[in-house]
Chains A and B, each alone.
Chain A
């Protein structure tokens, strides 16, 4: 994807870190019954990180993979926008992270959808899922060599000015987001969320609800790898790296 292998490696390492952190966060929330966090946010971070690693090497840029990313991240964007508008039931500060998530998801959609144009390349036909046919002799050779992960090639075409403008706008928004999270990390990373509620899922007649007070809990195991400040720093890394990748694509 990039002429510099070092750049691809740098992006890969960055998004492996953010993806790993998101995976740990997702695992903790799943194990603890979604208390004190949003699994959908962690899932979106994880998917975004995986997609960015693939993109750094030019994979997943065509065919069904491209369509899937647009649909998934577009859906995330709409969801976070909805949360930003309607709120989560917490304080006003709680909406800013959702606004940032919506912007990041939109940037992801833009990156995937407009990549060929941003990079000034025409898309070639990418391989679909041909598979093999059992009915034909010689099935052992089956499956087309091309796959849905085909990259881009072909003639260079100039990038339209409006595309450059939109890309730069997203870079600016992501930079603002990175600063927002950097400030939050500096201040200790505390995020105002609604009081955690655990729903009794034993299924025995009705839904018993218990409100768990926030108490200081000794953090051990995977939980020791996370925290509000680290959450904020992970967001800084993700926003900054996405902005950098958009710039590198121009």
Chain B
């Protein structure tokens, strides 16, 4: 029996066998990583509710008559977290909210800060927690689980692998599902599973129809996930810099004429300066929710920035002279480049914080859909495995060399931008080449034995 060859000159018949094989092999090998990312991501979607459940005392306080000034609140926080430098102050954004004062404490995990949650009415410190940026410990733990399985930088490879290939799976699956031979009831069969089918055909109909509904979500998760990945992330940042799509930032340095003598070492001084800076920012129009970041070195500005990441996003930022409270520079969210805004919105959507419970429910549905698709996909493979009498994916039809060459060229370009995709593809190709060589070698030995 001779090998089947891609039929005709029509580009799809040349390309489809390759797309099918690509979808199959990526699904089999990368599917488990996608599954883990979907499960951990599913857990992440409920972190806002978990925060409220676990940290209610830290986040909320009885409403009082008058709020204390930041000087008093920071001093109270410094008593709870002694001998540490203040790194950020977040006044409450609601009447019953607490003030967060974060400190850089030796011995706290990398990228974490020790944060005191202060009652703004009484100055009582309600809790001291180690926070990862604005994330509280439970969310930070789940965040790390999703990002790197708590395995550090090595673990980040798993999530980058999933993000790098998820869009390939989505697009290849979309292509095969939408472009099918049978024309009868095509739209209905594409959108809904076939209730009357059985066995593998039934599973495939569920896999394909759910995939079609989820494709936009998968593409979005993939693209946004790659922006903060370990290896592709810097390449994306470079691309954004070249295209002038970067997030505008505030100049850190004070003008030479500034005569600030603010000491950063004493939290009491920091608290006094924080009041000056906040007053200056509010006078210039800065609104809640906001965070105040003290200068890390003498001669630097203090920054006051909005921190609202839900729709409508509020990300205005101001550079303030700590001595006079004068606003030296303002970067408005409305003036960000479109792609920088799109990236910020996309990331908030990925984290489920863009539009509240609706966003969370959408992500839950997407995660469950991805989990089901991976399981169905592996079930189909299991039913069609070679030892069960099944054929190779695509059967005897081989991809055309032209499609392989074109896809290969695209893969090289993508592999350079997305290194984990490139390296994993390379490892697969080397393994495939060696495997095929071994099979041919065994077959050659078999022929030699037969001839004797």
Contact = CB atoms under 8 A, between A and B. Distances in A.
B237 interface: yes
B402 A27 contact: yes
Contact of B241 (A134, A145, A208): A145
Interface string B426-447: 1001100110110111111011
Interface in A173-222: 194-195, 197-205, 207-211, 221-222
Contact of B446 (A64, A89, A140, A209): A209
A198 to B, nearest CB: 7
B398 interface: yes
B389 interface: yes
A39 interface: yes
Contact of A129 (B3, B233, B409): B233
B228 A139 contact: yes
B134 A129 contact: no
B237 A143 contact: yes
Interface residues of A, number: 66
Contacts of B409: 23
Contacts of B231: 64, 129, 148
By secondary structure, the B interface counts as helix
B391 A209 contact: no
A149 B440 CA distance: 39
Contact of B392 (A39, A137, A201): A201
Contacts of A43: 429-430, 433
Contacts of B408: 23, 26-27, 46
Given A40-B434, A147-B234, A201-B392, A141 B249 contact: yes
A135 B132 CA distance: 6
B140 interface: yes
B125 interface: no
Contacts of A203: 386-387, 389-392
Contact of B443 (A136, A141, A207): A207
With most chain A CB atoms within 10 A of its CB, the pick from B241, B390, B405, B437 is B405
B291 interface: yes
A89 B443 CA distance: 13
Given A138-B247, A140-B347, A142-B228, A28 B233 contact: no
Contacts of B429: 43
A135 to B, nearest CB: 3
Interface in A140-164: 140-149
B419 A148 contact: yes
Contacts of A134: 133, 143, 147, 228, 347, 351
Given A200-B1, A202-B395, A222-B401, A39 B436 contact: yes
Given A40-B434, A197-B444, A50 B398 contact: no
Contacts of B402: 27, 221-222
Interface in B242-300: 246-247, 249, 291
B344 interface: yes
B401 A135 contact: no
Contact of B234 (A32, A33, A129): A129
A72 B233 contact: no
A250 interface: no
Contacts of A72: 426
Contact of A131 (B229, B340, B426): B229
A9 B206 CA distance: 52
Contacts of B399: 30-31
Contacts of B2: 210
Nearest to B135: A135
Contacts of A199: 436, 439-440, 443
Contact of B433 (A40, A131, A137): A40
Interface string A20-44: 0001101110111110001110010
Contact of B156 (A131, A202, A209): A131
Given A139-B344, A140-B247, A203-B387, 5 more contacts: A38-B433, A47-B426, A142-B228, A143-B237, A222-B405
4 closest A-B pairs by CB: A143-B237, A135-B133, A203-B386, A131-B233
